[in-house]
Structure 1
Amino acid sequence: MAKSKNHTNHNQNRKAHRNGIRKPLKHKYPSNKGVDAKFLRNQRFAKKGTEKALAAAAKKN
């Protein structure tokens, strides 16, 4: 009995490149899941401070 074929990658690369290998689409706001907690906390305060400053500037003008 003949030995059976274990592996082949024949034609797979050509098939993959027929329509091009594309990177997945990036979202405008990526998730903060798994991001450093200290950084997220500071980011939250920074956003709030920016909002306050913009509101004060709008009120002044």
Structure 2
Amino acid sequence: MNTPIRNVSSFTDALKARRAHLAGLLTLLDVKKEKSNEIEKLSIEALKTMISALDSQLKKRN
């Protein structure tokens, strides 16, 4: 089965939307950073890593 070819602008928009969503999650977790447990700290680091990966993908597209 062939996968549909995405329009470049729609793919870029999808990356931007995903980045905005992850940034929102990061904001929620960062609010209670000083009282966070180990799993929350690891989640924050994972979100930051995913955001930086999305930033590099967006930079390549521009």
* Structure 1 length-normalised TM: 0.43
- Of the two structures, which has the highest relative contact order with CA contacts closer than 8 Å and spacing of 6 or more? 2
Name the structure with the higher helix share. Answer: 2
